[in-house]
Amino acid sequence: MILWTGPCLAMQFSDRTVLYGLGSWYALAGLWAFVSFACDKRAARKHRRRTPERHLHLLELLGGFPGAWLAILFLRHKSSNPSFLLISVLTSATNIVLVAGLLCLMMPSFAAS
C-alpha cells in the first residue's frame, strides 16, 4: 500500500512539481544526514554519547544518502568500517532504484527509451 502512495501522488501533480519536491527532499535530508554525521564525529572525538549506527542508516534510507556520503568522504567519518559502508551502499542503491522507478511511472517516454 505504501509503495503506491508516491506514484499516486505523483500523478496528481505536474512532473516539475514532483521533481522539485524530490530535489528539495533529498537536499534537506542530505543536510540533516551530514549534520548528524558531523555531530557523531564530534561526539566520538570528545568521548561523548554517540548516535547509533542504525539512526545514521535510517537517515540515509530516508533520502539523506548524498549528505551521508559527503560526510564519509570529507569528514572521514565511518570510512574505515566495512559493514557500515556496505549498508550505506545498499541504502543508496535502494533510494536510486525507488526514484528511478518513480520517474519511469511518471514519464512513460523515459521508460521506453
Within-domain flag for 26: yes
Within-domain flag for 43: yes
Within-domain flag for 1: no
Within-domain flag for 21: yes
Within-domain flag for 2: no
Within-domain flag for 8: no
Q: Confidence band (pLDDT; 50, 70, 90) for 1? A: very low
Within-domain flag for 9: no
Range of the domain at 69: 16-106
What pLDDT shows up at residue 85?
A: 94
Instruction: Report how many domains make up the chain.
Output: 1
This prediction has a pTM of 0.79
Within-domain flag for 52: yes
Q: How far apart are CA 28 and CA 52, in angstroms?
A: 21
Whether residue 19 is predicted with pLDDT greater than 50 in this model: the reply is yes
Q: What is the pLDDT of residues 59-74, one digit of tens each?
A: 999 999 999 999 999 9
Name the strand (E) or helix (H) holding 6.
helix 2-12
